[in-house]
C-alpha cells in the first residue's frame, strides 16, 4: 500500500493479535528464529546511487553484493533500519540500466555498478498517467525494493523469497504503492519470516507496445523482459540479504498475475520455484501477434505524435540535445514525470521511420501521445499489453498450454467473485451497448453468430448477473449492466484461469491450487460486489479493525472477521512460499486446501465460510469461451490475424 496511507495503520496492524507460531521445518527456520517480529516504514522520494549521504549512520543496514558487471569489485548497498519495528529496508536498488536514450524500446541491460548504492528512498514510478496514485515518475525507473527482517544478511539467514509483481492494466502501477511491513510483521510473529522484493517494470507504450514498427525492431513485451531481468537479479544477489535463491515465489495481481503466468511459457525458466496468481492468466487480455493485433492503434500513435512521416530534424526539434542522454533530466509539470533528452541525428536530411521517431521523442511527448491514444474510445481496451512476438511468447498461449509447452512448477491461481464489475462503465445500459463494449476490448470482433450464442448463455435477468448472488437488485443500473459484468468477468478472468488449471493437470502438473475470494469490502458500493483487486489488503495483512483504505480504492471499518480472513490467507500464502504447498507441514485448525486435480477443487475465501467446493459454476459459459479461442482472441497465430 502507499506509504502515506500505511503509516497511520501500523499501530493497528502491529498491535493486532496473531496466531501462535506453528511447528515448522527446522531446516527452513533455523535462521528465522533470530529475526525480530515487526515492521517499519519510511518516507518516499527517489533513490540515489553513489557515496552515502550525510544522514546515513552506522545503524543503517548494509549488504555487499558481487555482481558480474562490477568486475569482481564488491558493491555495498546501504538501506534503512527502524529498530522500533525490526525491519531493514533497501529502497530503490537498480536492477537494470536506465532504459533511456538508445536503450528506449530495448530489452533491459544489466546494471553496471561503479559505486556503492544508497537505497534509502522510494524510486520513481515508470511513466504513466499523472492522474493515478503513483508519485514521482521517470523513464529511468527499473528499480526494486527489498524488505528483510532486521539483521538479515548472508551470514545470519537463508529465508524464502517472495517477489511481488504489481497490477495496473499494463499502464499503471508502482512498487511504492505496496508496503509489505504489515505482511512482514505477521510473518515474523508466526515464525515464517521471509525476504520481500517488489520490482518496477515499464508500462504502456514504453513497456508493452504493439504495432508493425515495434515488431520489426524486436521491441515487444519489454515489461515482461524487465520482470525476467529483475528475477535474474534476485537469483544473483538475494543471498546477500539473507534470501534463498532456490526458494523464490513470484506473486502478483491482475497484470502482475498475467505477466507471471506468461513466465510459465518458458519451459526451462529457473528464476523461481512457484507462483501465486491473483486474478490473471495467460489470455486474460486479448493476445495476438505484435505486428498486427493493434496496428490501427499504432498508426494512431504515429499520427498524434507527428511521427507518421518525419524528417530527422523535425523529430528532434523539440528534444533536448545533451552529450549524455542518461545524465540529463528535466521535470515536466504537465505529467509530473522526468523527461530524458535525446541526441539529434547527425544527418538532418535523412528521414526517420515511425519507430525511430517514437524512440527519439522526449519522454513526456511520447507519454502524452500514449494518453491521447488511450483517450480515444476506439482504443480504450487493452491496446498495451503482452503480444505474441515469436520469441518470449512464441505462439498463442492457448495453443502452448494445450500442447503442454509450459514450465511444470507449482502454482496457485484464483479469482475474485465479481471480477467484471470494475470494467463495465455506467453507459452500458442495453444489450447493444454491451456488445459495443465487447468490441472495444477485442482487437478482432467475434462474429455475429458467436455473439448471439454468447448472449444466449447469459440470462438478462438481474438475478443471474454480476455482482452475483444479489437477487434482482440492479443498484440503479440497467439489468444489461449486470449481464455484461458477468460476461466480462468470465471472459477475461474465470475462463482463462480454469483453462490454465485444466491444462496443467492434464499435462502432469498436479501441484496446483485454486481459490475464489468472496469477501465483501466494507465501505464500498454494493454494486461492485467482490470486485477486482479487493483481495489485496487481505494478502498484505491490512484488513484490520480501524483501517480506512478508501482513498486507494479499498474499504474502511474492517471487522475482526476481515482480520481473521486476512491472517488465514497470509498463512496460506506464506506456507506456499515455504513449502510449495498452502497447507504447510503442521497440524492446524485451518481448512485443508486440496489440490485442484481432476475433482476441480477450489477454496472459497470468505470470513465465515472457508470451504472447498467444485469449480464447475457457469460451466457451459466458460466452455464456450475456451472452446472458441480464436473468436475471443485467446488463440491467434503469429503468422497472421486470419481466423481459423
> Mean per-residue pLDDT for 370-381?
93
Question: What are the tens digits of pLDDT across the range 336-370?
Answer: 444 333 433 334 336 899 999 999 999 999 999 99
Under the banding of pLDDT at 50, 70 and 90, the label for residue 326 is very low
Q: How far is CA 385 from CA 217, 255, 282, 419, 611, in A?
A: 17, 9, 11, 19, 35
Question: Which residue would you say has higher pLDDT here, 311 or 221?
Answer: 221
Does 3 score more than 80 pLDDT? no
Decide if 195 contacts 162 (C-beta within 8 A): yes
Question: Which residue would you say has higher pLDDT here, 51 or 311?
Answer: 311
Question: What are the tens digits of pLDDT across the range 228-239?
Answer: 999 999 999 999
> Mean per-residue pLDDT for 238-258?
98
pLDDT at 274: 98
> Mean per-residue pLDDT for 275-303?
94
pLDDT above 90 as % of the chain: 73
- For 24, half-sphere exposure in the C-beta direction (CA atoms, 13 angstrom radius) is 25
453 CB burial (10 A radius; 0-12, 13-18, 19+): middle
Which has the closest alpha carbon to 261: 246, 238, 272, 277? Answer: 277
pLDDT at 621: 97
pLDDT at 297: 96
Does 206 score more than 70 pLDDT? yes
Question: Which residue would you say has higher pLDDT here, 631 or 200?
Answer: 200
pLDDT at 553: 87
Which has the closest alpha carbon to 419: 532, 576, 545? Answer: 532
pLDDT at 133: 85
Question: What are the tens digits of pLDDT across the range 438-497?
Answer: 888 888 777 888 999 999 999 999 999 999 999 999 999 999 999 999 999 999 999 999
Which has the closest alpha carbon to 177: 122, 233, 230, 222? Answer: 122
Under the banding of pLDDT at 50, 70 and 90, the label for residue 551 is confident
Under the banding of pLDDT at 50, 70 and 90, the label for residue 299 is very high
> Mean per-residue pLDDT for 20-39?
30
Question: Which residue would you say has higher pLDDT here, 552 or 168?
Answer: 168
Decide if 346 contacts 105 (C-beta within 8 A): no
Out of 55-59, 69-73, 371-375, pick the least confident. 55-59
Under the banding of pLDDT at 50, 70 and 90, the label for residue 30 is very low
Strands 75-78 and 62-65: what pairing? antiparallel
Does 155 score more than 50 pLDDT? yes
Burial annotation 264-298 (CB, 10 A radius, 16+ → b, else e): bbbeeeebbbbbbbbbbbbbbbbbbbbbbbbbebb
Does 264 score more than 80 pLDDT? yes
pLDDT at 237: 98
Residues with a known catalytic role: 254
- For 239, half-sphere exposure in the C-beta direction (CA atoms, 13 angstrom radius) is 10
pLDDT at 631: 83
Does 35 score more than 60 pLDDT? no
Decide if 451 contacts 625 (C-beta within 8 A): no
Decide if 490 contacts 625 (C-beta within 8 A): yes
Cell digits of residue 348? 538532418
pLDDT at 584: 94
pLDDT at 503: 98
User: 3-class DSSP state for residue 441?
Assistant: helix
Does 6 score more than 60 pLDDT? no
277's CB contacts (< 8 A; 6+ apart) are 251, 252, 257, 258, 260, 261, 411, 412, 413, 414, 497
pLDDT at 11: 41
pLDDT at 632: 81
Q: What is the mean pLDDT of the chain?
A: 85
Does 559 score more than 90 pLDDT? yes
pLDDT at 7: 40
Question: What are the tens digits of pLDDT across the range 120-144?
Answer: 999 999 999 998 888 899 999 999 9
Q: What DSSP letter does each residue of 91-129 carry, written as one string?
A: EEEE-B----GGGTTS---B----S-EE-BSPPPBPS--
Helices (H) and strands (E) in the chain, counts: 20, 20
> Mean per-residue pLDDT for 152-171?
96
472 CB burial (10 A radius; 0-12, 13-18, 19+): exposed
- The number of beta carbons lying within 10 Å of the beta carbon of residue 349 is 8
Does 37 score more than 50 pLDDT? no
Question: What are the tens digits of pLDDT across the range 578-612?
Answer: 999 999 987 678 999 999 999 999 999 999 999 99
Question: What are the tens digits of pLDDT across the range 422-442?
Answer: 999 988 999 999 988 888 888
The whole-angstrom separation of Cα 299 and Cα 303 is 6
pLDDT at 58: 52
The full length of the chain comes to: 644
pLDDT at 445: 73
Q: What are the structural domains, with CATH classification, of the chain? A: 3-278 (3.40.50.1820), 297-379 (no CATH), 420-570+595-627 (3.40.50.1820)
Does 322 score more than 50 pLDDT? no
Amino acid at each position: 500500500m502507499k506509504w502515506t496511507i500505511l503509516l497511520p495503520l501500523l499501530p493497528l496492524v502491529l498491535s493486532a493479535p496473531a496466531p501462535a507460531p506453528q511447528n515448522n521445518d527446522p531446516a527452513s527456520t533455523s535462521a528465522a528464529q533470530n529475526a525480530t517480529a515487526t515492521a517499519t516504514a519510511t518516507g518516499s522520494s527517489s533513490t540515489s546511487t553513489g557515496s552515502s549521504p550525510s544522514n546515513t549512520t552506522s545503524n543503517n543496514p548494509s549488504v555487499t553484493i558481487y555482481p558480474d558487471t562490477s568486475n569482481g569489485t564488491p558493491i555495498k548497498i546501504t538501506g534503512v533500519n527502524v529498530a522500533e519495528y525490526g525491519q531493514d529496508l533497501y529502497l530503490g536498488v537498480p536492477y537494470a540500466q536506465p532504459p533511456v536514450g538508445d536503450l528506449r524500446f530495448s530489452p533491459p541491460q544489466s546494471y553496471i555498478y561503479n559505486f556503492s548504492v544508497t537505497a534509502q528512498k522510494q524510486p520513481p514510478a515508470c511513466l504513466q498517467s499523472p492522474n493515478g496514485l503513483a508519485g514521482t515518475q521517470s523513464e529511468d525507473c527499473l528499480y526494486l525494493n527489498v524488505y528483510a527482517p532486521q539483521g538479515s544478511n548472508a551470514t545470519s539467514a537463508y529465508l524464502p523469497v517472495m517477489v511481488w509483481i504489481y497490477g495496473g492494466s499494463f499502464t499503471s502501477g508502482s512498487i511504492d504503492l505496496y508496503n509489505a511491513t504489515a505482511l512482514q510483521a505477521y510473518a515474523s510473529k508466526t515464525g515464517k519470516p521471509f525476504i520481500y522484493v517488489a520490482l518496477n517494470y515499464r508500462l504502456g507504450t514504453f513497456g508493452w507496445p504493439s504495432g508493425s514498427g515495434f515488431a520489426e525492431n524486436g521491441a515487444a513485451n519489454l515489461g515482461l523482459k524487465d520482470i525476467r531481468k529483475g528475477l535474474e537479479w534476485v537469483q544473483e544477489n538475494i543471498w546477500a540479504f539473507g534470501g534463498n535463491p532456490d526458494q523464490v515465489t513470484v506473486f502478483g495481481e491482475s497484470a502482475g498475475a498475467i505477466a507471471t503466468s506468461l513466465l510459465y511459457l518458458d519451459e526451462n525458466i529457473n528464476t523461481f520455484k512457484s507462483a501465486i496468481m491473483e486474478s490473471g492468466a495467460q489470455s486474460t487480455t486479448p493476445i495476438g501477434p505484435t505486428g498486427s493485433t493493434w496496428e490501427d492503434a499504432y498508426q494512431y500513435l504515429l499520427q498524434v505524435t507527428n511521427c507518421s512521416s518525419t524528417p530527422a530534424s523535425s523529430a528532434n526539434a523539440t528534444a533536448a540535445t545533451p552529450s549524455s542522454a542518461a545524465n540529463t533530466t528535466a521535470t515536466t509539470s504537465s505529467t509530473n514525470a522526468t523527461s530524458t533528452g535525446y541526441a539529434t541525428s547527425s544527418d538532418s536530411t535523412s528521414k526517420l521511420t515511425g519507430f525511430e521517431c517514437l524512440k527519439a521523442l522526449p519522454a513526456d511527448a511520447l507519454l502524452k501521445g500514449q494518453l491521447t491514444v488511450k483517450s480515444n474510445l476506439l482504443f480504450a481496451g487493452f491496446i498495451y499489453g503482452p503480444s505474441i512476438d515469436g520469441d518470449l511468447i512464441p505462439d498463442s498461449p492457448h495453443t502452448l498450454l494445450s500442447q503442454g509447452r509450459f514450465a511444470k512448477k507449482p502454482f496457485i491461481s484464483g479469482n475474485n467473485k465479481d471480477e467484471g464489475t470494475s470494467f463495465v462503465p455506467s453507459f452500458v445500459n442495453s444489450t447493444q451497448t454491451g456488445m459495443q463494449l465487447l468490441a472495444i476490448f477485442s482487437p478482432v470482433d467475434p462474429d455475429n453468430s458467436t455473439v448471439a450464442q454468447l448472449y444466449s448463455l447469459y440470462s438478462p435477468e438481474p438475478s443471474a448477473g454480476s455482482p452475483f448472488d444479489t437477487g434482482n437488485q440492479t443498484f440503479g443500473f440497467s439489468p444489461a449492466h449486470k449481464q455484461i459484468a458477468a460476461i466480462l468477468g468470465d471472459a477475461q478472468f474465470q475462463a482463462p484461469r480454469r483453462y490454465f488449471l485444466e491444462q496443467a493437470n492434464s499435462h502432469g502438473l498436479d501441484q496446483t491450487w485454486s481459490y475464489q475470494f468472496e469477501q465483501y469490502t466494507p465501505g464500498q458500493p454494493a454494486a461492485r460486489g467482490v470486485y477486482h483487486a479487493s483481495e489485496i489488503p487481505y494478502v498484505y495483512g491490512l484488513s484490520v479493525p480501524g483501517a480506512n483504505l478508501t482513498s486507494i480504492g479499498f474499504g474502511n471499518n474492517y471487522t475482526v472477521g476481515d482480520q481473521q480472513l486476512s491472517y488465514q490467507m497470509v498463512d496460506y500464502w506464506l506456507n506456499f512460499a515455504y513449502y510449495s504447498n498452502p497447507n504447510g507441514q503442521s497440524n492446524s485448525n485451518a481448512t485443508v486446501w486440496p489440490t485442484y486435480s481432476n475433482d476441480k477443487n477450489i477454496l472459497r475465501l470468505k470470513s465465515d465460510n472457508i470451504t472447498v467446493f467444485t469449480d464447475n459454476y457457469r460451466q457451459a459459459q466458460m466452455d464456450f469461451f475456451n472452446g472458441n479461442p480464436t473468436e475471443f482472441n485467446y488463440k491467434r497465430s503469429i503468422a497472421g490475424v486470419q481466423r481459423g
